[in-house]
Homo-oligomer: A and B are copies of this chain.
Amino acid sequence: MRKVFQEELTQVGEQLVEISKLVSEAMGKAATSFQVADVDLAEDVIAADARIDFLQTSLDERAIDILALQGPVASDLRMIVGSLRMSASLERMGDLARHIAQLARLRFPSTVIPASMTETFNKMAEQDQLIADKLVVLLESRDLEVARDILKANSTIDDLHLSVFKAIAAPDWAESPATTVDVALASRYFERFADHGVSVARKVTYLVTGEWQPQGI
């Protein structure tokens, strides 16, 4: 019985890693579709999001079964409840990658953002990709050094997000209202993606150390 239980816990952990890999792939494709106006790639991301949603539901059902049948306690219980929360954050990251792809599809064959913003958004996409990749490593290894990298990337994204809003409010901003809204929303999607990544990193940290550190990792 005990052995079956440990296997089930391991499977939940593996399913989290699987979802995080799909999220990383989604962000990679979404960012490219957004940067080069590739509508096929955007369609890929939009279609693939259903798989992430399905895996989240399946992980949650498995976790609830474990709660019902095994009555885990202490660190096992924390791990199961933590997994329910992490799967919700990962699912939301998938949604945000889909939102970015949907913007790319909406504006195709144009790019979503004006040339003046390309560099800023490239940097944001790069940091989000880094966060998504590091999350896979963190969920596999539970190496808290990786969690710190995620926090650092998020801080860079916060600065970039702020710079986008400053650019929009500057007197020399001359883009159309529709483009202005696209830029603001896209920036918010990239920024929220990173926030959810941090939220997962914090949960892993909590599971490893048993201590909740809302102000840092």
| Chain A interface residues (CB < 8 Å from chain B) | 64, 67-68, 71, 73-74, 77-78, 81, 84-85, 88, 165, 168-169, 173, 175, 177-178, 180-181, 184-185, 188
- A-B contacts besides A68-B74, A165-B181, 10 pairs, CB < 8 Å: A64-B78, A67-B77, A68-B77, A71-B71, A81-B84, A85-B88, A168-B177, A168-B181, A177-B177, A180-B180
Q: How far apart sit A169 and B178, CA to CA, in the bound complex (Å)?
A: 5
Nearest first, the 5 A-B pairs at minimum CB distance are A71-B71, A181-B184, A169-B178, A177-B180, A173-B177
| Complex-state Cα separation, A67 to B63, whole angstroms | 13
24 contacts between A and B (CB under 8 A): A64-B77, A64-B78, A64-B81, A67-B81, A68-B73, A81-B84, A84-B84, A84-B85, A85-B88, A88-B88, A168-B177, A168-B178, A168-B181, A169-B177, A169-B178, A169-B181, A173-B177, A175-B177, A180-B180, A181-B181, A181-B184, A184-B184, A185-B188, A188-B188
User: How many Å lie between the Cα of A184 and that of B184 in the bound state?
Assistant: 8
In the complex, what's the smallest C-beta–C-beta distance from A131 to chain B, in angstroms? 20
Which B residues are in CB contact (< 8 Å) with A181? 165, 168-169, 180-181, 184
